[in-house]
Structure 1
Amino acid sequence: MEFDDFVRQRGAALVRLGHLLTGDRHLGEDLTQDVLAKAFVRWKRIKADPPDPYLRRMLVNAAISRRRLASSQEVVMAEPTETPGRDDLGAEAVERDAVWRLISTLPPKQRAAVVLRYYEDLDDTAIAAMLDCSRETVRSQVKRALDALRARLAKEGSDAGSAGATRNGGKP
């Protein structure tokens, strides 16, 4: 398969993976473009094996490396002041955004493991090959990530509950 054909067939999926790994659509597109530029130069070697797993691994590695480099350049955004109610049409989008904000706080390898497991629907063996670790390490990374996400969700829920109780004079 030629490079152009591969990009036509799998480019959108690679951009989606880049978006999921970075948490930002534009950064995901940039990451994918960088990876595809590197892959183009090595295409004769890459196409000998199935290229999809190889390029996914390149994306994961690039996302982890980029996150390390960019960690000192992060810009903190203000939290939204009001949260829409359940009747609001945008409530689902707000919840999705909140989940992505939580996922973006995970360490790079935990985030990659969660994205590859739940968004790319890969098994432990495939994820282990991409992250260059054992299947057991993949399972522990996913477990730690889910535990961290649950703890943060519980903390946010208790913070919201205590803020409401203080506003109402301590009454629930």
Structure 2
Amino acid sequence: MPAGPDPATAEGGSAAFEAYARTAQRRLYRTAYLLCGDVEGARDLTQTTLAKLFQHWRRASRADNLDAYARTVLVRTFVAERRRTVRDLLAHHRQAPRPHPDPAPGADLRLTLLSLLAELPPRARAMVVLRYWDDLSVATVASLLGCSESTVKSQCSRSLVRLRARMGDVQLYSTGG
């Protein structure tokens, strides 16, 4: 006796989605953490991305590269949320930006970089993370963010100059001795 739709085929294949979500969650979280700079924000962004993928699973599951599709959803969600947050903050009050303290000589490089990444505008930050952390090509980053390759090149270049200037004398390459 049929008891209703088969859960494996309902909603465009929830079993297939669950299998994909289990394998992709760590990769998505890693990129989300680099974009957000904090654990809670990364968890929220990862869950929002997976919820959007589930909502549109029929279309997503037909993508040529499902990981690229998921990364696109993640990055575009991040940029949209940051724009909304910045717009809301600016609408409620204007405040002079606080100067970022110079990193202490013995500061943990990873924490320093995360802090400095947080100073970049959302799209520029996404470009730097995708280009240099996820090691994606300029063309792929441009496609993910819906902009030209020259925009990716110029934004990454400007962002790296800004990051290097803010890094100051922090040792990027330690010899360990």
Both structures adopt the same fold (TM-score exceeding 0.5): yes
Q: 1:34 is paired with a residue of what secondary structure?
A: helix
Mapping of 1:75-86 within 5 angstroms?
Answer: 83=104, 85=106
Q: 1:131 corresponds to which residue?
A: 145
Deviation >6 Å, runs of 4+: none
* 1:84 CA drift (Å): 6.8
The residue that corresponds to 2:79 in the other structure is 64
Q: How does 1:46-125 map to 2 (within 5 A)?
A: 46-49=60-63, 50-71=65-86, 72=89, 83=104, 85=106, 91=107, 94-125=108-139
Percent of matched pairs sharing the same residue: 40
Q: Which runs of 5+ in 2 are unaligned?
A: 1-12, 91-96, 170-177
Q: Which residue of 1 aligns with 2:25?
A: 11
**How far did 1:70 drift?**
2.5
Aligned length, in residue pairs: 146
Which of 26, 34, 44 is matched with 2:40 structurally? 26
Larger fraction in helix? 1
Equivalent-residue separation in structure 2 for 1:124 and 1:38 (angstroms): 25
Q: Using structure 2 for the length normalisation, give the TM-score.
A: 0.73
**TM-score, length basis structure 1:** 0.75
Alpha-carbon RMSD: 2.6
